[in-house]
Structure 1
Amino acid sequence: MAIRLGLGLPQMRQYDIGRDVPDVARAAEETGYESLWVFERILFPEPASQGLYGIPGLPWPDAYRSVADPLVTLALATAATRRARLGTSVLVAPLHIPFQLARALASLDAASGGRVVAGFGTGWSLDEYAAASVAPFEQRGKVLDELIDVCHAVWGPDPVAYEGEWTTIAPSVVGPKPKRPIPILLPANSPRALRRLVDRADGWMPVGMGAEALATQWQRLQDLAAERGRKEPVAGVLRVNAQHTAKPYEGRDRKPFQGGVEQIVADLAAHAAVGPEEILIDLQGGTRDAEELKDVAAEVYTAARAAGL
């Protein structure tokens, strides 16, 4: 069975969001992509109080200077498509009021006919937390736990009632409801996050940083799932941030998913062999405009299927 392929929607500043998001979403669905994805970045601090991903000295990419709101982007894609699943990879949970986010995702799922996939994370940017978080950075794991609880409550039968540290819902009717249970995916970069994933989530959302590293992480996750008695299989949706170049990358320092279409597809094949059910390919950072993004996305999709993926 062929692996499912998804595409990242255009959210960065080189795109016209109102025009390009529906255009790219329609084209991707027609090409054969089975899912469409958004990510979240809310500001670009100058100067930043920390490096990218919290790594000292690592600069933020210039493309992060303007990133369209993920839920607005998904709403545009919802109206332009009919089949493709619509996913978040990922929403930074503590930057959202749990009840309001749960309702927004339920409305999107109802509007799309049951196509939403909710990827949640805890984030890493201290500047984003200072601007918008519902709790201090040190409590980010607790906020994510409460968000998951609130989502299950809001998406479940009425009357909805919940009492947590940041959220209190008196017994209430809350609608619309999702068309079906919305899958929750989590990344996992620590032992505590791995336990949360195994115990509370439907699937795993790692980032493609090399097939060998992915295989090690995947085995660790499977071992923990067995140890904790999980009955359901852990679905895997791999996020790939690709940097497409017109010609093959010839340097010895080539990173995974950097280079020409053949190089990107070879990396896709190596990562697919590890076992994820789906790979999300985000190409938007390396393309000039929507036309180039559509062309490169179609070329990658065609080459991947020709290679047996």
Structure 2
Amino acid sequence: MALRLGLGLPQTGSYDLAKDVTAVARAAEELGYDSVWVLERLLRPEEPLDDMYLVPGLRWAGYFRSVADPLVTMSLAAAATERVRLGSAVLVGPLHQPFLLARALGSLDAASGGRVVAGLGTGWSRDEYAAAGADHATRGAALDELLDVCAAVWGPDPAAYEGRRTRLTPSAVGPKPAGRIPVLLAGGNDTALRRMVRRADGWLPSMMAPERIAATRSRIAELAHEAGRDPAELSITLRTSVKLTDRPVEGKRRPHQGSPEQIVADLEDAVRAGVQEVLLDAQLTSRDVQELIETAKVLREAVTEAGL
């Protein structure tokens, strides 16, 4: 099966949200990309409780100062396209009220003709949890509740659920999704992987080396067999940060950063590790929307020429 390619939409403050999201979404569709994707980041605290991504000493990136709402961004892309799937990598599920998020995703799927891919995770920032009025300590249970509520709201009426954050008495809730919304879950520890195997359609790692992907894929297969599930049912979608250069990068380099040939070689490594779809996100390394679209064009052509 050919590698599926996704493209990250421009959400940061360096872009003009009034026109750049739709421009990139249309370009992705015209170039033959399979999907477009959003991320979620609420804020950039002046005195953060946690280092970025929980890496000791790592300062919060400047782009966190302004990241457009993911559901608004997905809606803009949906209205400008007809074919590409609309994915989140990721929505930090526990930051949202479960019923309202489930209903919004169902409405977006109905409006887009069944193109939503719900990529969810628990996040890491205690500052974001505090701002959203959510409990960081119970984030795993909150994600489980969200998954329950999504199943109820997206399923047949009457929908009903009783949980810690949600009390849904038997009710008609519409519009329903146009089809079954695929759910992908992030996280690489055993707890997250067990949840993914039990409750999702696939795994959504971010910026992960192929060796670790391959090792985690083996663990996923073990957990799937324990749960009585076929591992082949579980997809792997890798989020990457892409930086295209005119010349090959010499010496040590970060994956997915370099010449088209180097990036294609990285994608080949990802495929060998078990990845079926790669999200190429160049919004942070592009100077403007024209460069972002040109990067998307060059990489799409390079991947096609390589026969991936």
Moved over 6 A (4+): none
Match of 1:94 in 2: 94
Within 1, Cα distance between the matches of 2:271 and 2:81? 26
Structure 2 contact 236–276 (Cα < 8 Å) conserved = yes
CA distance in 1, matches of 2:140, 2:68: 25
Confirm or deny: 8 A CA contact 2:213 2:274 kept in the other structure.
Answer: no
Who is 2:283 aligned against? 284
- The Cα of 1:117 is off from its aligned counterpart by 0.4
Report the TM-score when normalising by structure 2: 0.97
Question: Where does residue 27 of structure 2 map in the other structure?
Answer: 27
- 2:114 alignment partner in structure 1: 114
Q: Which residue of 2 aligns with 1:198?
A: 197
Where 2:86 maps in the other structure, the secondary structure is strand
Compare 176-185 and 186-195 and name the one that shifted more: 186-195
CA distance in 1, matches of 2:174, 2:110: 10
SS at match of 1:185: strand
| Residue number in structure 1 paired with 2:51 | 51
Q: Conserved in 1, the CA contact under 8 Å of 2:240 and 2:256?
A: yes
Amino acid of the structure 1 residue aligned with 2:149: V
Deviation of 1:244 (Å): 2.8
- 1:37 maps to 2:37: yes
What RMSD over aligned residues (CA atoms) do the two structures have, in Å? 1.2
Question: What SS does the aligned partner of 2:175 have?
Answer: coil
Q: How does 1:169-208 map to 2 (within 5 A)?
A: 169-208=168-207
Letter of the 1:244 counterpart: L
Structure 2 contact 28–296 (Cα < 8 Å) conserved:
yes
Hey, what does 1:82 align to over in structure 2?
Answer: 82
- Count of paired positions: 307
Partner of 1:228 in structure 2?
227
Question: Is residue 64 of structure 1 aligned with residue 53 of structure 2?
Answer: no
Once the two structures are TM-superposed, the CA of residue 96 in structure 1 deviates from its matched residue by 0.4
Q: Tell me the secondary structure at the aligned position of residue 19 of structure 2.
A: helix
Q: Which runs of 5+ in 1 are unaligned?
A: none
Secondary structure, aligned partner of 1:15: coil
Amino acid at match of 1:36: V
Identity percentage of aligned residues: 57
CA–CA distance in structure 2, aligned partners of residues 141 and 218 of structure 1: 22
**Where in structure 2 are the equivalents of 1:130-145 lying within 5 Å?**
130-134=130-134, 136-145=135-144
**Which residue number in structure 1 is paired with residue 217 of structure 2?**
218
AA at the equivalent of 2:29:
E
SS of equivalent residue, structure 1 residue 209: coil
Residue 223 of structure 1 aligns with an amino acid whose one-letter code is E
**Does the 8 Å contact 2:40/2:91 carry over to 1?**
yes
- Deviations along 1:81-140, one digit per CA (max 9) or x if unpaired, are 000000011000111000000010001000000000000000001110111143x21100
Q: Is the CA contact 1:51–1:60 (under 8 Å) kept in the aligned structure 2?
A: yes
What is residue 247 of structure 1 aligned with on the other side? 247
SS in 2 for 1:284: coil
| Letter aligned with residue 257 of structure 1 | H
Residues in 2 aligned to 1:263 and 1:17: alpha-carbon distance in whole angstroms: 31
State the distance in 1 between where 2:122 and 2:216 align. Answer: 19
Q: Is the 8 A contact 1:96 1:133 kept in 2?
A: no
For residues 24-44 of structure 1, the C-alpha deviation after alignment (integer angstroms, 9 at most, x for no partner) is 100110000010100000001
Q: Which runs of 5+ in 2 are unaligned?
A: none
Residues of 1 paired with 2:202 and 2:123: CA distance? 18
Q: Could you say what secondary structure the match of 2:131 adopts?
A: helix
Deviations 1:223-253 (A, max 9, x none): 211122114621111111223334322242x
Give the TM-score, by structure 1 length. 0.96
Q: Is the 8 A contact 1:94 1:133 kept in 2?
A: no
